Structure 1
Amino acid sequence: MNEQEFLASYDPRAYPAVAVTVDVVALTIREGALHLLLIRRGEPPFAGHWALPGGFVRPDEDLITGARRELAEETGLGGERLHRIHLEQLGSYGDPDRDPRMRIVSVAHLAFAPDLPDAAAGSDADEAGWLPVTALPGRQLAFDHARVIDDGVERARSKLEYTPLATRFLAPEFTITELRAVYETVWGQPLHAGNFHRKVLSVPGFVESTGASTERGGARGGPRAKLYRAGDARLLHPALLRPAREEAVR
């Protein structure tokens, strides 16, 4: 039997139905705190519970396109600004009983971006908003999204150690103090300013000077701060380890 004959006789109904969805763990920094985009489901299953933006992958979509569409529906972003958001695949979640409707496998994605707009609930949600990650323990979460969120936040914390993705939370030009604030917010612990400054500048390609400075000094009237932009490094070597991990490897 050749391939054409095989496909003509192939019956997909002979196998159990499995659907594929995408979910998005979208993180940004607001008012000095790490925030996550969530929706309150307006329809069963889990009506009234908070959930990640997500939905079924359409027949003509690949996974990343479906994730971008779901993110756009809740944020109103589109065009070039949507494509500038860092979006990567986080993991696949396929426990047989994760969804009461049918066997559904979700491919979760992780998004980082600065200054994302206020959320707007889509047609299947009662409410949408940016919630502080620290407030999540008090929320009722749908499906297995508590696990997905935990995985996403840990991935973000880890990637800040070994990659320059912290710069994705900032404007194109930033100070080392602003970069340190990203690390402190995502890691959830304070860092020594002088040590952080020294480590950042010692990593080849992490940041590069713009040659410019801020228009004003700090809150106490100090000198103007130098401005930097993201460099061309894709991995940080040496890595910027979290304080507890740094102590463990010494």
Structure 2
Amino acid sequence: MSQKTERPVLSGQRIKTRKRDEREKYDPTGFRDAVIAGLEKTEGDLDQISKYLDSAGNKLDYRRYGEVLFDILIAGGLLVPGGSISQDGEKPRTSYCIFDAPESMESMRNHEQVFVKLIRRYKYLEKMFEEEMGKVLLFVKGFTPSERIKLARMTALWLVNGSVPPNVLLVLNNEHLIKDGIALEFLLELFQTFKQEKGIAYLIQALKKGGLESKLMDFFPP
């Protein structure tokens, strides 16, 4: 029986490695730094921010770092458990984000368009944004009262335009958010904004669709 001979390996020839070893190191901080650098150049002009995000998606890995991108656009930097911003690096946060925007509905609607344009351009971000909101809403206790108001108003706008489904609000049915009245306060602000935008009938319809209609009393503190 003939033996299988080994193929010669040329000096300096690379030995193939498994795909997982070839993957680039996960580097959310590096991605954050690149996005913040780009946002800073816009000087807060929302049209310029949209243009930057549109073009940056061709260079930056939105598929891998989509939730990091939304962290930055909402809170200004990388969110860590509890709702605070990671302070790693020289420039850990930008002021060009929802949390640093004026509370007015005009301002909120203008910021809404940044997200609408971004997700319309990169459709694969839709699911990531839904997952992001599930995470961010769990962190509301760590945000300031003003940040909660802005997030509640923006969440209402995202519910109205279909960017997130109503059932994302179910994550607020959490003991640590209910006992201090934070969940209820957030929902009341959200409902008020939603009602102003689409009316009470549409709000009730959304609550039914999200499975919240029968759970509203659960959000009241004990």
Highest RCO, 1 vs 2 (Cα 8 Å, sep ≥ 6): 1
Structure with the larger strand share? 1
**Structure-1-length-normalised TM-score:** 0.30
**Structure-2-length-normalised TM-score:** 0.33
